[in-house]
Structure 1
Amino acid sequence: MKDEIDYITIDGRGEHESFRDCITQTIQNLKPNEGIHVIKDFEPFPMYKMMEEKGFDKYVEKVSDEEFHVYFFPKNDLKRIKMGGYLDLDDKRIEKIMTITLDYLEGKTNLKGAKKKMQESFDKVTAQEFALFEQYLEKYGISDDEIEESLDEILEIFDGILLSNKLDLPLGHPMRTYLEEIKAIRKVLNQMRTMLKKNFIKNKWIKLYDKLAEINIHFARKQNQLFPALEKKGFDKPSKVMWTLDNNIKEIIKNAQEYLEADQDNKFLELQEEVIEMVEDMMVKEEEILLPTSMDLLTDKDFIEMRKGDDEIGYCLISSPPSYENKDKDNIKASPNNEFLEDLTNLLQKHDMLNPFSNNEVLDVSQGNLTLEQINLIFKHLQVDLSFIDENEIVKFYSDTKHRVFPRSPGVIGRQVQNCHPKESVDMVEEIIKAFRTGEQDEAEFWLEMDGKFIYIIYTVVRDEAGNFRGVLEMMQDVTHIRSLEGNQRLLSWDKPKMM
């Protein structure tokens, strides 16, 4: 549905003779940027062809078996979205791909018919074309939930013609690292397939699942490093759809481990085919769509910066890769503004204007006088993790502590906070921010038990002296040790191991 359209509502429930005339009259009087919202007690199929011939597209919403809402809006040529500006693709091909897939999603054709039409129309569809088409779906009223639910069927439409670019990259390149991890994960899956043909031996399965559980690191780096870089290019579907699929995989692996630990052997074994299929399916999506598209969207400078933050999160089933720096600086793929930004940076550095103060200059903070170096050292040594989003809901800061509860990396800075959470928890995040903005609440507390640790999390509203909303501060701490304390300790003790 086109959100920018103003809709004129016509409630046609129970109407028969005058309904068509009412629609015709309304169409004649429509102004630019106006559409028609029809409510009927059945799906008005007879209207679809008539409205299509008059130049209207539609979005159908089924409220119940006896209430349908159909939004008709003027067709427009495909307007290039932000992501499209970074990819040199044929808009007419994307439009054709959109039409065939939308016909299936809107029920105009079945899966077999859509697949046949796609294969008749195209010899091949690239990963980049698929990714761009997927990004456009939202513009045509297809929600992220619908994409997630129908993704396997959508991929089936492209079966046999979806072409993946084989990436040949040097060691240390972040995309090469993901590929190396995919190879290692598949090795574990193959071992699992072999084990399913043999007698059940619990200890061997425990070792395999200890390895498979490292996929959480693979997902964490992808979510905190790769996804933010793609969002800056307008490609946010990985954050909104793939993140949920990642979490589904983490959940089923966790369930399988619980069956294994509880000696529920049959339930554990019954789950293995699904575990293998879900993990393999994600590896295919990454290898054939996500990573090739990332190569086209991101610059080499993006990858160099990404590599600097990758070590922060770690690696899945592989050793730490070497550093990555482009050896052929003349051929670095650059965005149009890179040269201007470099020139501006050089100019500011020349006149000592890049940093308004040095690390050693004393700053007058609220209660005291500190240098920038001292402020950073304080944040680095706090026994709690801090994160801050500003009034525009942009992540501006996190404390760089060694004991961090959840992974963080530089890619999160500048990111919309909603994109830092899986889709299932975004509503709660927005509810907290709304309550803080309106002044209804000042704090939101959470606690959870995870891997034998008790984690305490509190969100606190940040307001200036005038009471204006300026952002949200998140504080997180592993309080397992604190909860275990009893009695008193009034004398100095060095029982606690030295922090390294």
Structure 2
Amino acid sequence: MPSKRIEILKNILLDLHHGSSPESVQERFNQHFSGVSALEISMMEHELMSSDTGITFEDIMSLCNVHANLFKGAVADVAVADVDQEGHPVYVFKQENLALRSALLRVRRILSNLSDPENMTIWDQLVKGLRHQTKLLAQFDQHYTRKEELFFPIMERYGHDAPPKVMWGVDDDIRDLFYVFQTKLDTLANKADLLSVTTAFETFANEFEEMIFKEESILLMILLETFTQDDWLAIADKSDQYGYAIIKPTQRWQPERQSFVEADAPTSMIDKEQSGQDESGQITTLETENGTFTISFAPKKNKEVGDRHTPQAFGNGYLSVEQANLILNHLPMEITFVNKDDVFQYYNDYVPTEEMIFKRNPSQIGRHVELCHPPRVLEKVKKVLTLLKTGKKDKVTMWFKSDKRDLFVHITYAAVRNAAGEFEGVLEYVQEIQDFRAIDTDFNRDV
């Protein structure tokens, strides 16, 4: 894409950030752009956040809706095969948005009916219906979480790091707005409480509907221009772990894929006997219609896999790699290791992903730890890492009560240091301790 377009787009956004009216900015935008690629928007946001313009992530997040309005009707569509097929992640994502939008409209309609004096005789039934629709609407959190945990890591690998960071921050703001609405709804007792409930809902709904536009007109366009079919297959394969909002895929998406290698074809395009390939795999001579050519070819050897089953010296005894892996997976806690370069390197499989307190998936491996957390907790994460790296603390502990799953969770962040005392990384272990807190005897006589 021409860098000139990126520069013009960036300057327009800079003027907006520095106080120009949305109307004047829109006029300039329309002069230069009859259509804009979602990739250009991603590049522009990256330029703004990484240059010396003084524009911060928080600035972009605060004007996110203004940005989105600027691009409405101008973002170019991307045509990609398969996305309208049942089960494709894009198809599922859009169907969820349709279902969520429908739930949003039903909540709005019920709130309107509650305000009608003629409906006072059916107040209880309407409130019951309102709570049911709100419960359905609350499933948007699974939609957002799947987006954040499966879409964003792949985007970052392709260099699109600004949009995920901004969108995750807005997602969390929307979650907060929904919590305010839900809290007010829980205390709805009579018509006097209705105004505050309706106001809280409309504040949430406005931001929620804006996010649907951003997802479908900007985010998905970036993904469709960037992701490969293998990326979408990986997302489809892991989506069940995070759940869906209101709807579920009724069938698995399986694209038609053409194999270009016949089952009985030789491993090389050139048969060994014809090519003069020796035992080392090097081709020395090749007879063709145009003469004889000497070719030097050293095939890349597969990386050898170590023996996973032979015990070897391991701490104060002997373990095989396989045994060590099994032990880590049987420890009654979720373990995560972030190395000294702040890269997420390992997590164990104590329980299936859908049962994890903090859900992990293989796509997170290799990501910078800051990208694995919502923007709202980044400062806490950085503070913990600094305390452990500098040696001010060897451990940092915290705990919380999860009312949603009736769990009491204890978390420990421990500095990992080698024999010389050098920092090698951070070990996080997460335990559900509700059962421990319930213990009231010294000995389990059933054992």
Report the TM range for the smaller structure's normalisation. 0.7 to 0.9
Q: Which amino acid aligns with 1:404?
A: M
SS of structure 2 residue aligned to 1:198: helix
Cα shift at 1:323 = 4.1
Question: Match for residue 283 of structure 1?
Answer: 212
Q: Following superposition of structure 1 onto structure 2, how do residues 371-390 of structure 1 map, counting pairs within 5 Å?
A: 371-390=320-339
Question: Match for residue 487 of structure 1?
Answer: 441
Unaligned runs of at least 5 residues, structure 2: 115-122, 261-298
2:68 is the counterpart of 1:155:
yes
* Higher deviation after alignment, 229-238 or 252-261: 252-261
Cα shift at 1:464 = 0.7
- Maintained 8 Å contact 2:401/2:409: yes
Cα 1:354/1:329, change in 2 over 3 Å: farther
Q: Distance in 1 between matches of 2:314 and 2:136?
A: 48
- Maintained 8 Å contact 2:335/2:428: yes
Question: Match for residue 415 of structure 2?
Answer: 461
Cα 1:156/1:490, change in 2 over 3 Å: closer
Q: Following superposition of structure 1 onto structure 2, how do residues 186-265 of structure 1 map, counting pairs within 5 Å?
A: 186-199=101-114, 201-263=126-188, 265=193
Cα shift at 1:154 = 2.1
Correspondent of 1:425 among 374, 377, 387: 377
- Maintained 8 Å contact 1:396/1:414: yes
Cα shift at 1:354 = 4.1
* Higher deviation after alignment, 258-267 or 412-421: 258-267
Q: Distance in 2 between matches of 1:364 and 1:307?
A: 41
Alpha-carbon displacement from aligned partner over 1:34-89 (angstroms, at most 9, x marks no partner)? xxxxxxxxxxxxxxxxxxxxxxxxxxxxxxxxxxxxxxxxxxxxxxxxxxxxxxx2
Cα 1:133/1:330, change in 2 over 3 Å: farther
- Maintained 8 Å contact 1:220/1:407: no
Length, aligned pairs only: 386
Alpha-carbon displacement from aligned partner over 1:323-364 (angstroms, at most 9, x marks no partner)? 445423579xxxxxxxxxxxxxx9544xxx342224x33343
Alpha-carbon displacement from aligned partner over 1:347-383 (angstroms, at most 9, x marks no partner)? 544xxx342224x333432233333333333333322
Cα shift at 1:433 = 1.1
Larger relative strand fraction: 1
SS of structure 1 residue aligned to 2:158: coil
- Maintained 8 Å contact 2:155/2:223: yes
2:99 is the counterpart of 1:184:
yes
Cα shift at 1:115 = 0.6
Alpha-carbon displacement from aligned partner over 1:387-410 (angstroms, at most 9, x marks no partner)? 110000000111223241122211
Cα 1:229/1:321, change in 2 over 3 Å: farther
Q: Distance in 1 between matches of 2:162 and 2:177?
A: 22
- Maintained 8 Å contact 2:86/2:249: no
SS of structure 2 residue aligned to 1:162: coil
Q: Distance in 2 between matches of 1:390 and 1:172?
A: 36
- Maintained 8 Å contact 2:395/2:413: yes
Correspondent of 2:428 among 462, 474, 482: 474
Q: Which amino acid aligns with 2:313?
A: D
- Maintained 8 Å contact 2:337/2:346: yes
2:362 is the counterpart of 1:447:
no
Alpha-carbon displacement from aligned partner over 1:214-260 (angstroms, at most 9, x marks no partner)? 11111111111111111111111233211111111112222222222
Q: Calculate percent identity across the aligned residue pairs.
A: 27
Q: Distance in 1 between matches of 2:57 and 2:15?
A: 18
Question: Match for residue 365 of structure 1?
Answer: 314
2:33 is the counterpart of 1:122:
yes
Q: Distance in 1 between matches of 2:55 and 2:204?
A: 28
SS of structure 2 residue aligned to 1:125: coil
Question: Match for residue 234 of structure 2?
Answer: 305
Q: Which amino acid aligns with 2:10?
A: M
Q: Distance in 2 between matches of 1:304 and 1:363?
A: 38
Cα shift at 1:94 = 1.5
Q: Which amino acid aligns with 2:256?
A: K
Unaligned runs of at least 5 residues, structure 1: 1-88, 332-345, 494-500
Q: Distance in 1 between matches of 2:180 and 2:157?
A: 35
Q: Distance in 2 between matches of 1:186 and 1:166?
A: 24
Cα shift at 1:281 = 1.2
Question: Match for residue 103 of structure 1?
Answer: 15
Q: Distance in 1 between matches of 2:443 and 2:23?
A: 73
- Maintained 8 Å contact 1:462/1:470: yes
SS of structure 2 residue aligned to 1:396: strand
Q: Following superposition of structure 1 onto structure 2, how do residues 321-400 of structure 1 map, counting pairs within 5 Å?
A: 322-329=251-258, 347-349=300-302, 353-358=303-308, 360-400=309-349
Q: Which amino acid aligns with 1:191?
A: R
Q: Distance in 2 between matches of 1:241 and 1:93?
A: 22
Q: Which amino acid aligns with 1:181?
A: E
SS of structure 1 residue aligned to 2:332: coil
Question: Match for residue 58 of structure 2?
Answer: 145
Report 1 or 2 for greater relative contact order, CA contacts < 8 Å, sequence distance ≥ 6. 2
Cα shift at 1:419 = 0.8
Question: Match for residue 117 of structure 2?
Answer: none
Q: Distance in 2 between matches of 1:183 and 1:433?
A: 41
- Maintained 8 Å contact 1:216/1:250: yes
- Maintained 8 Å contact 1:119/1:158: no
Cα shift at 1:120 = 1.5
Cα shift at 1:454 = 1.5
Alpha-carbon displacement from aligned partner over 1:181-224 (angstroms, at most 9, x marks no partner)? 22221121121222122125221122112211211111111111
Q: Which amino acid aligns with 2:35?
A: K
Cα 1:368/1:314, change in 2 over 3 Å: farther
- Maintained 8 Å contact 1:306/1:411: no
Question: Match for residue 273 of structure 1?
Answer: 202
- Maintained 8 Å contact 1:395/1:414: yes
